[in-house]
């Protein structure tokens, strides 16, 4: 079966005064129908930029999508003009996106009602009354009590968790095929986080939507994602089925990421948390070698001289971008 979304060799660069930042440097990934995938990595590794590139929401200038294809439903989205009508109808209608900060993602001067109905009017051509009824229905669906009364409130009258629910209601309002959630739970507390994620999962099942969760939280992807992509310095360094990656991580960076997640029942005596030493690299003027090299505990001579290793298969649907077989080494 052909993938619903197929990103091929996507490259997004930013031109700054200090040089060219290769924020996304050859990312390839695919999403099947009704699939939940996780895109994991540290801050600044290019997760959000790659997703914004898919939506063509990169501010240009300074950003520029220099290469790649984003095949959605058989069409290359990058061929359409970023601000054109076709992209506008795809955004929100076919691919919707939820942002990190629910506090700032809603327009403060419009009522919740207006913000949801606007979308319904753009994408589905509903009239005001039908859109309002649908908006109330959607708010009920995402668990906002007294939706009939609450709908005329403004965003500042809602709490963070409530706003994120509103964002979800907006995102699913036009029944998109893919939902991209860019760190959807970073700005809310842990209890709300679980509720929001459960809600998203429920909505996906209901509307047959695929989900891309962009996060730095391994716990979130472990629980929800079926497949995982691990990003580092603008590239995918490991990809595979979620269970595979957690049980059998192969890239030194993924191993490091999993080692620094505390596990239930652990004490300081049974296992120390191991942080990854060093900092993520500056994306300006990257060396030709593997970007993880300075922080890697497994490095060999080949790593220091060779170019960035290409992705190679190490198992069923499991790929890593590393020269070393970490299993042998350990």
Binding mask 178-207 for other proteins (x = CB under 8 A): -------------x---x--xx--x-----
Q: Find where tokens 């590239």 sit.
A: 235
Residue 93 found at the interface with other proteins (CB under 8 A) = yes
Name the residue with tokens 């052909």. 2
Give the per-residue contact string, 20-59, with other proteins (x = CB under 8 A; - = no): -----------------------------------x-x--
The C-alpha atoms of residue 163 and residue 147 are separated, in whole angstroms, by 13
Q: Which residue has the tokens 């590393």?
A: 322
Binding string to other proteins for residues 142 to 181, with x set by CB under 8 A, is what?
A: -x-xx-xxx-xxx-xxxx--x----x--xx--x-------
Q: Which of residues 223-242 bind other proteins (CB under 8 A)?
A: none
CA–CA separation, 188 vs 100, rounded Å?
Answer: 9
Which span (4-12, 101-109, 206-214, 292-300) binds other proteins, by CB under 8 A? Answer: 101-109
- Rule CB under 8 A: choose which of 36, 49, 97, 131 binds other proteins: 97
Give me the least distance between CB of 63 and other proteins, in Å please. Answer: 12
The smaller minimum CB distance to other proteins, of residues 167 and 255, is found at: 167
How far apart (Å, rounded) are the C-alpha atoms in residues 145 and 206? 20
Q: Nearest distance from residue 243's CB to other proteins, in Å? A: 26
Q: Counting contacts by CB under 8 A, is residue 105 touching other proteins?
A: yes
**C-beta closer to other proteins: residue 26 or 143:** 143
**Residue-by-residue DSSP string for 237-250:** EEEEEHHHHHHS--
Phi then psi for residue 327, to 5 deg, are -70, -40
By CB under 8 A, residue 134 contacts other proteins: no
Q: Which stretch binds other proteins (CB under 8 A): 90-98, 261-269, 286-294, 299-307?
A: 90-98
Going 322 to 227 to 103 to 208, the CA torsion angle's sign is: positive
- Residue 211 found at the interface with other proteins (CB under 8 A): no
Neighbours of 46 (CB within 10 A): 26
| Residue closer to other proteins (CB basis): 12 or 239 | 12
Using the rule CB under 8 A, give the single segment among 93-101, 207-215, 270-278, 282-290 that binds other proteins.
93-101
Calculate the alpha carbon distances from 297 to 238, 251, 253, 324, 326 in Å.
17, 11, 9, 11, 10
Shortest gap between Cβ of 170 and other proteins (angstroms)? 6
Burial 169-191 (b: 16+ CB within 10 A, else e): bbbbbbebbbbbbbbbbebbeee
Interface residues with other proteins (CB under 8 A) are 55, 57, 61, 83, 85, 88-93, 96-97, 99, 101, 104-111, 114, 118-119, 122-123, 143, 145-146, 148-150, 152-154, 156-159, 162, 167, 170-171, 174, 191, 195, 198-199, 202
């Amino acid at each position: 079966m052909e993938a619903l979304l197929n990103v091929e060799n996507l490259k997004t660069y930013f031109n700054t005064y200090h040089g060219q930042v290769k924020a996304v440097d050859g990312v390839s990934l695919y999403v099947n129908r009704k699939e939940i995938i996780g895109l994991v990595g540290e801050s600044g590794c290019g997760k959000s930029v790659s997703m914004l590139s898919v939506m063509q929401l990169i501010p240009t200038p300074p950003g520029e999508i220099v290469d790649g294809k984003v095949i959605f439903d058989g069409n290359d989205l990058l061929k359409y003009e970023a601000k054109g009508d076709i992209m506008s109808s795809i955004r929100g209608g076919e691919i919707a996106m939820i942002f990190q900060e629910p506090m700032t993602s809603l327009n403060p001067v419009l009522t919740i009602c207006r913000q949801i109905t606007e979308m319904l009017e753009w994408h589905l051509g509903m009239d005001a009354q039908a859109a309002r009824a649908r908006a109330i229905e959607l708010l009920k669906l995402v668990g906002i009590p007294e939706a009939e009364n609450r709908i005329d409130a403004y965003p500042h009258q809602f709490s963070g968790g409530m706003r994120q629910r509103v964002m979800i209601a907006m995102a699913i309002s036009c029944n998109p095929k893919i939902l991209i959630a860019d760190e959807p739970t970073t700005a809310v507390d842990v209890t709300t986080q679980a509720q929001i994620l459960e809600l998203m999962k429920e909505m996906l099942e209901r509307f047959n939507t695929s989900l891309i969760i962009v996060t730095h939280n391994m716990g979130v992807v472990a629980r929800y994602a079926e497949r995982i992509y691990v990003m580092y310095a603008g590239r995918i360094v490991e990809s595979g089925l979620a269970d595979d990656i957690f049980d059998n991580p192969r890239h030194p960076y993924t191993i490091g990421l999993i080692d620094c997640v505390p596990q239930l029942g652990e004490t300081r005596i049974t296992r120390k948390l191991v942080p990854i030493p060093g900092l993520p690299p500056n994306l300006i003027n990257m060396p030709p070698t593997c970007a993880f090299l300075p922080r890697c505990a497994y490095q060999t001579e080949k790593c220091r001289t060779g170019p960035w290793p290409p992705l190679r298969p190490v198992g069923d649907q499991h790929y890593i971008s590393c020269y070393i077989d970490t299993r042998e080494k350990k």
